[in-house]
């Protein structure tokens, strides 16, 4: 509707075209849906291309955030391990000092 192609809404609805299906449409599939105007198909294909690019950008941003979180988690885990080793060493040094006396 935002593309001023309301005349195709009923056919898309009748064919159960949802967002996932929509992104898989190409020129021949659009033609099969009854979009006979090459200009209308071009408008839809252009918008689909923009949507796919936007989704890909969002996916890459999500992956980047997940990698950053994983990196931070590993860093925190390494710091905890170092702290634990330091604490263990201090405890064993204190125990050895007590045993020597």
- State if pTM tops 0.75: no
Is residue 95 pLDDT above 90, yes or no?
A: no
Its sign, for the CA torsion 17, 18, 24, 25, is positive
Question: What are the residue ranges spanned by the domains of the chain?
Answer: 7-83
Segment 35-80, tens digit of pLDDT: 999 999 999 999 999 999 999 999 999 999 999 999 999 999 988 8
Give the pLDDT band of residue 88 (cuts 50, 70, 90): confident
Q: Tell me the C-alpha to C-alpha distance, in Å, between residue 23 and each of 8, 15, 20, 38, 55.
A: 16, 14, 6, 18, 10
Pick the CATH number of 7-83 from 3.40.605.10, 3.40.50.720, 1.10.150.50, 1.20.930.40: 1.10.150.50
pLDDT at 97 over 60: no
């Amino acid at each position: 509707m935002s593309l001023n192609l309301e005349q195709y809404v009923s056919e898309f609805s009748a064919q159960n075209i949802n967002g996932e299906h929509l992104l898989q449409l190409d020129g021949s599939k659009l033609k099969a849906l009854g979009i006979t105007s090459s200009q209308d198909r071009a408008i839809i294909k252009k918008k689909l291309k923009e949507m796919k690019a936007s989704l890909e950008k969002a996916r890459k941003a999500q992956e980047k955030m997940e990698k950053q979180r994983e990196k931070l988690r590993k860093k925190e885990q390494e710091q905890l391990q170092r702290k634990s080793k330091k604490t263990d060493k201090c405890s064993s040094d204190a125990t050895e000092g007590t045993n020597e006396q």
